[in-house]
């Protein structure tokens, strides 16, 4: 079985596909001037793009992990999440408070999905 790596960077791939499963690396906003809701929306757009490249979409997401440096920002993050979510195909999800690598990042999201 082959392994496909998408969007390679110096230390990681944006996504890895193996055996019909897509593993996304932690996604952070490309625009750090945005607030938590805006950064979340930006990340979800990136996720849509990566999933499309992998032959998948948000209806096929199995599990999501969301990291917030300030758990108090969960409402703002959820506002963008709820607007994006496929409510007929809700994934398993964990949201935790965690210090992120760059203090300008207000949210990081990683997930696992199946291909279509």
Residue corresponding to tokens 């999933």: 51
Q: pLDDT of 24-40, one tens digit each? A: 999 999 999 999 999 99
Q: How far apart are CA 4 and CA 43, in angstroms?
A: 22
CB-based contacts of 52: which residues, under 8 Å, 6+ apart?
Answer: none
Q: pLDDT of 57-76, one tens digit each? A: 999 999 999 999 999 999 99
**Record: fold of 3-114:** 60s Ribosomal Protein L30; Chain: A; (3.30.1330)
Where along the chain do its domains lie?
3-114
Can you list the alpha helix ranges (DSSP code H) found in the chain?
Answer: 36-53, 74-84
pTM for the model stands at 0.96
């Amino acid at each position: 079985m082959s392994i496909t790596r998408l969007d390679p960077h110096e230390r990681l791939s944006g996504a890895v596909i193996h055996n019909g499963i897509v593993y996304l690396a932690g996604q952070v906003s490309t625009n750090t001037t945005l607030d938590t809701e805006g950064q979340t929306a930006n990340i979800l757009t990136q996720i849509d793009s990566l999933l499309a490249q992998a032959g998948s979409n948000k209806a096929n997401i199995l599990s999501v992990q969301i990291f917030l440096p300030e758990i108090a920002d969960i409402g703002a993050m959820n506002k963008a999440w709820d607007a994006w979510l496929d409510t007929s195909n809700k994934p398993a999800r964990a949201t935790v408070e965690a210090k992120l690598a760059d203090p300008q990042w207000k949210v990081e999201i990683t997930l696992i999905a199946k291909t279509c």
